[in-house]
Copies of this chain bind each other. A is one copy, B any other.
């Protein structure tokens, strides 16, 4: 697995491998909450510009009452055809999916949809920076896992290979994301190391 700057993947740990949060004020926060807060901090400080995409909805009926806003009265959730987050950092396109599992020993690949993998493959072809943020919530560990590797494992699975990614594999081939107060899930610092 080669990165654009020639570095090989390796587990990188910034500072203490335990959470650098003091106290437990973030307890109960979902991964999505943490990422949204991180993105907001990145955006406010000009560090990067990454957004969650709106949930795709198929609108069927809209009511237009007089003197007030249009009301959507019938709509359905559509399956997303892309990843959930994208944006721009130091001129490069950033594209990622976030997944959480309570499983302590492995991450089930069934959590990822085929169209999301297809999208990630296309992003890689266009040399975007593409990855999955993967949280083992019971272990309280959050990893940066490169889409290139994910794609390999996915294709392997289709051909009858493993149906999940063992935790040890993630620990060895991903990067532990440092936690902080404001950039709670500071994934851009991982990207700095891998790409710049």
A residues bordering B, Cβ < 8 Å? 43, 46, 48-49, 51, 53-57, 59, 69-78, 81-82, 86-95, 119, 122-123, 125-128
Knowing A54-B54, A73-B73, A76-B70, say if A128 contacts B91 (CB, 8 Å).
yes
B43, B72, B94: which contacts A75 (Cβ < 8 A)? Answer: B72
Q: Is the CB of A76 within 8 A of B71?
A: yes
B69, B89, B94, B119: which contacts A76 (Cβ < 8 A)? Answer: B69
Contacts of A69 in B (CB 8 A): 76-77
Q: Is the CB of B54 within 8 A of A88?
A: no
Question: How many Å lie between the Cα of A57 and that of B56 in the bound state?
Answer: 9
Instruction: Show 10 A/B contacts (Cβ-Cβ < 8 Å), sorted by A.
Output: A49-B122, A54-B78, A55-B57, A57-B57, A71-B75, A86-B86, A87-B126, A88-B127, A89-B126, A90-B126
CB distance from A49 to the nearest CB of B (A): 5
Q: Is the CB of A51 within 8 A of B89?
A: no
Q: Is the CB of A126 within 8 A of B72?
A: no
Question: How many Å lie between the Cα of A60 and that of B94 in the bound state?
Answer: 30
Query: Nearest 5 A-B pairs (CB), nearest first?
Result: A88-B93, A91-B127, A88-B128, A93-B93, A72-B75
Contacts of A90 in B (CB 8 A): 126-127
Q: Nearest CB to that of A125 among chain B residues?
A: B46
Question: How many Å lie between the Cα of A51 and that of B81 in the bound state?
Answer: 10
CB distance from A100 to the nearest CB of B (A): 21
Interface centre among A56, A70, A75, A94 (most CB of B within 10 A): A75
Contacts of A49 in B (CB 8 A): 119, 122-123, 125-126, 128
Q: Nearest CB to that of A48 among chain B residues?
A: B126
